[in-house]
Amino acid sequence: MRTFEFSRAADVGQAIALHARSPDTVFLAGGTTLLDLMKLDVMQPAHLVDIHKLKLDQIDVQSDGRVRIGAMVSNTDLARHAHIQQHYPALSQALLSGASTQLRNKATTAGNVMQRVRCGYFRDGISPCNKRVPGSGCAAIDGLNRNVHAVLGGSKDCIAAHPSDMCVAMIAIGATIHAQGARGVRDIPFADFHLLPGDTPWKEHALATDEMITHITLDAPMPGSRSAYLKLRDRGSYQFALASSAVIVARDGNDIRDIRIALGGVSTKPWRARDAEAMLRGKPLSAALIRDAAAASMAGAQSYGQNGFKILLGQQAVARNLSRLVA
Ligand code: SF4
CA of 155 to the centre of ligand 1 (A): 10
Distance (Å) from CA 284 to ligand 1 centroid: 42
Q: What average pLDDT does the segment 137-147 reach?
A: 98
Report the pLDDT value the prediction gives residue 118, as an integer from 0 to 100: 98
Return d(Cα 38, Cα 51) in angstroms, integer. 17
Tell which CATH architecture fits domain 225-326: 2-Layer Sandwich (3.30)
Alpha-carbon distance 66 to 71, whole Å?
Answer: 16
pLDDT over 90 (residue 196): yes
Write down the pLDDT at residue 55: 96
What distance in Å separates the CA atoms of residue 137 and residue 43, rounded to the nearest whole number? 18
Q: Kindly report, residue by residue over 89-136, the tens digit of the pLDDT.
A: 999 999 999 999 999 999 999 999 999 999 999 999 999 999 999 999
Give Cα separations from 293 to 51, 133, 160, 231, 319 (angstroms). 43, 39, 25, 18, 8
Cα(159) to centroid(ligand 1), Å: 6
| pLDDT tens, residue by residue, 2-59 | 999 999 999 999 999 999 988 899 999 999 999 999 999 999 999 999 999 999 999 9
Residue nearest atom 7 in ligand 1 by C-alpha distance: 122
Name the residue of 130, 142, 204 to mutate for ligand 1: max ligand atoms within 8 A of Cβ.
130
How far apart CA 39 and CA 57 sit, in angstroms, is: 27
Residue 325 has pLDDT above 90, yes or no: yes
Residue range 233-248, pLDDT digits in tens: 999 999 999 999 999 9
Helix 89-97 to helix 166-173 angle, to the nearest 10 degrees? Answer: 160
Q: Which residues line the pocket of ligand 1, CB cutoff 6 A?
A: 117, 119, 121-122, 129-131, 138-140, 158-160, 201
Q: Is the pLDDT of residue 210 over 90?
A: no
pLDDT at 130: 98
What proportion of the chain, given as a percentage, has pLDDT over 90?
98
Q: How far is the CA of 218 from the centre of ligand 1 (A)?
A: 31
d(C-alpha 5, C-alpha 3), whole Å: 7
pTM: 0.98
pLDDT in tens, 69-101: 999 999 999 999 999 999 999 999 999 999 999
Residue 145 CA: which ligand 1 atom is closest?
5
Q: pLDDT-derived band of residue 327, with 50, 70 and 90 as boundaries?
A: very high
Diameter of the chain measured on Cα atoms: 64
Backbone angles phi, psi at 155, to 5 degrees: -140, 175
Ligand 1: which of 37, 40, 122 to mutate, most ligand atoms within 8 Å of CB? 122
Tell me what pLDDT residue 216 has: 98
Instruction: Give the list of residues 6+ apart from residue 89 with CB closer than 8 angstroms, or none.
Output: 226, 227, 228, 229
Span between the terminal Cα atoms of the chain, in Å:
57
How many other β-carbons are positioned within 10 Å of the β-carbon of residue 258? 17
